[in-house]
Chain A
Amino acid sequence: SSEVTQDPAVSVPLGHTVSITCQGDSLRRFSVSWYQQKSGQAPVPVVYATHNRPSGIPRRFSGSTSGDTATLFITEVQAEDEAVYYCNCRDKSGSYPVFGGGTKLTVL
Chain B
Amino acid sequence: QPRLQETGPGLVKPSETLSLTCAVSGVSISDRDNWWAWIRQAPGKGLEWLGTLSSGGASTYSPSLRSRLFLFGDTSKNHFSLRLTSVTAADTAVYFCASLIISSSYYFDSWGQGTLVTVSS
Contacts and interface: CB of A to CB of B under 8 A. Distances in A.
Contact of A99 (B49, B106, B109, B114): B49
Contacts of A96: 49, 52, 60, 62
Contact of B107 (A88, A100, A102): A88
Contacts of A31: 104-106
Given A43-B96, A48-B101, A88-B107, 12 more contacts: A31-B106, A33-B105, A33-B108, A37-B47, A42-B112, A45-B109, A49-B107, A96-B60, A97-B52, A98-B49, A99-B48, A102-B46
Interface of A: 30-31, 33, 35, 37, 41-45, 48-49, 52, 54, 84, 86, 88-90, 95-102
> 7 closest A-B pairs (Cβ-Cβ)?
A33-B107, A48-B107, A42-B111, A99-B47, A102-B46, A49-B105, A101-B46
